[in-house]
Amino acid sequence: MGIPLRQYYRLLARYLSPQKRMVSLLGILIVANLMLQLARPQLLRIFVDTATGTRSDYALGVTALAFVIVALLGSALEACSEYVSETVGWTAANKLRGDLAAHCLALDMSFHKAHTPGELIERLDGDVTKLSRFFSQLVIGVFANALLLVGVVIVLFREDYRVGIGLGVFTLSAVGVLTYLRGIAVPYWAATRQLSGKFYGFLAEHLAGTEDIRANGARGYVMFRFFEQLRAWLPAMRKAYVADVSLWGATILTFALGNAIAFGLSAYLWAEGLVTIGAIFMIIQYTELLRWPIEQIRNQMQELQRAGASIARVVSLLEKRSRVVDGHVSALPSGPLSVELRGTSFSYEPDEDPVLQDITLRLEPGKVLGLLGRTGSGKTTLARLLLRLYDPTDGSVEIGGVSTRDTTLAALRSKVAFVTQDVQLFQATIRDNLTLFDPGVTDNQALAVLSELGLGAWLDSQPLGLDTVLAPGGAGMSAGEAQLLALARCFLMDPGLVVLDEASSRLDPATEHLLERAVTRLLANRTGVIIAHRLETVERADDILILEHGHVIEHGSRVDLLHQPDSRFNALLQTGLKELLV
């Protein structure tokens, strides 16, 4: 898998452009340090020639002092460049992390259905961490070390053209071999990153289900899968490291050849009387100096291989496009909204059987629809279409007389509220959980809604009131409190359409009564769609829609269906909806 150079360039340009000054400073520091490195062998040459010639103590002292000053300056510049490079790298990496997170949140549900949270965490954190050095040092480092190689060859040409040619050919050959070997490990590192994401996805999923795994005796199976994943990971890592070793071996051979060339040329020039001992010492030092940038280029090439695998995965993620495209209508009508489906069909994947088939219905503004059906009949899928978590495969969905494809997602979701049985609570303050991080909601509004829903006493019991931080997943809260908090979110939204996946199905009678009262107030002067599981919930519906295997098998007014002895709805009521729950 070759990584096109334009991908490297685009990523660098996008995330380093905002840091032009810091990047320029880093370049200046690196170049200044290179100049000092080129100066050191010259000072050593002067010192050796002086020591073996006139032996001027003053000249020796000045040369030694100059060498110490150059060494200290080099160390200071190296420390400064390291600091600047880390700042540049992590600033760019964190910006990329934020962009990837925002991009993933903007993708539709089909993407999140196909990728586990652990896999996405590995993409957003693991791959981006690999790129921090790519942003800070790799490209600049490769350029700087290449510049150092050129500088060394030029200095050697000035000393003697034969030395310059010999070590110049050696340098070009070494760089050519390393460049050729650059892409060997990329596909292997890409495979390891893919397996890493799969492993962490497995880990996150099963750690979240620890209680169920222990309670049902599935620990052995989970550990078997755990070690199975590790066994698949090991050979991929081995192949990647073996490919890396090829670069290391090539570098060792290159260094041996370079030293042989340097010693051979030095011996020839000394025999001809063309160089001094100091000059020979300088040639050997410059040859050793060549070792440093070549070794650094080797290491940087290895880092680029790893970065190349991460870049490919990051670019692949950034290039994914949501199937749900924002429309142009930025506002829906105020008040209760109508709901209309026209020949609506939907399947999660093109080659899968439809989950919904040819659904046609109209729900007038302010009316409540009871949505009934067995498990897997398509009730939740229909609800997701109303929020435009998916677009229908065929037909259309209209909210307030506007096709969901034509509305912006922000406009639609500000007017459509969805409450499920499983309420998502965050490790954040009660205020943030209530407002979903919307700073436009005032504390007075939040307090009024909580009081109205009967959560005033619960809030008073919290040590910091609205500033109390909830435990992860809402641990410590009862199911009823969590459901009431979810309904409070809807009150603050003031939606025109409310979709409820019957929230009271798992509550005790007292809490259920409180919740039913809150639902009644929420649905007042609003359109409602309720996924019903129990008889009490159906009684508040104006219309009834019964689904089976994605088809509408009955639709009409609740009162009319109630008075039809042969209606499916009437039969369900006679059995207390027991058949529905089977």
For position 502, what pLDDT does the model report?
66
Domain positions in the chain are 5-319, 339-425+477-581
Sign of CA dihedral 419, 425, 430, 434: negative
- Evaluate if residue 552 carries a pLDDT over 60: yes
How far is the C-alpha of 437 from the C-alpha of 118, rounded, in Å?
A: 24
| Bigger pLDDT: 454 vs 179 | 454
Evaluate if residue 448 carries a pLDDT over 60: yes
The CATH number given to 5-319 is 1.20.1560.10
pLDDT-based confidence at 267, cuts 50/70/90? confident
Share above pLDDT 70 across residues of the chain, in percent, rounded to a whole number: 90
**Residue 406 pLDDT > 90:** yes
Res. 292: pLDDT tops 80: no
For the segment(s) 339-425+477-581, the CATH number from 1.20.120.160, 3.40.50.300, 3.30.565.10, 3.40.50.2300 is 3.40.50.300
Average pLDDT, the chain: 81
In a 13 Å sphere around the CA of 526, the CA atoms on its Cβ side amount to 22
Q: In what order do the strands lie in the sheet with 394-399?
A: 356-363, 339-346, 394-399, 402-403
Min mean pLDDT across 98-107, 409-418, 499-508, 562-571 is at 499-508
Confidence of residue 369 (pLDDT cuts 50, 70, 90): very high
Please say if the pLDDT value at position 497 is more than 90: yes
CA distance 157 to 93: 42
pTM of the model: 0.66
Give me the pLDDT at residue 176, please: 73
CA-to-CA distance for 259 and 255, rounded, in angstroms?
6
Q: What is the mean pLDDT of residues 100-119?
A: 82
What is the structure's pLDDT at 257? 79
Residue 534: other Cβ atoms inside 10 A: 14
Which pLDDT band holds residue 79 (cuts at 50, 70, 90)? confident
pLDDT at position 449 over 80: yes
Q: Report the alpha-carbon distance of residue 488 to residue 522 in Å, rounded.
A: 9
In this prediction, residue 1 has a pLDDT band, given cuts at 50, 70 and 90, of very low
- Amino acid 212: pLDDT: 76
Rounded to whole angstroms, the Cα distance separating 302 from 313 reads 17
d(CA 160, CA 282): 12
pLDDT at 32 over 80: yes
The reply to whether 5-319 and 339-425+477-581 are identical in fold is no
Q: Quick one: which of 551, 559, 8 has its CA closest to 300? A: 8
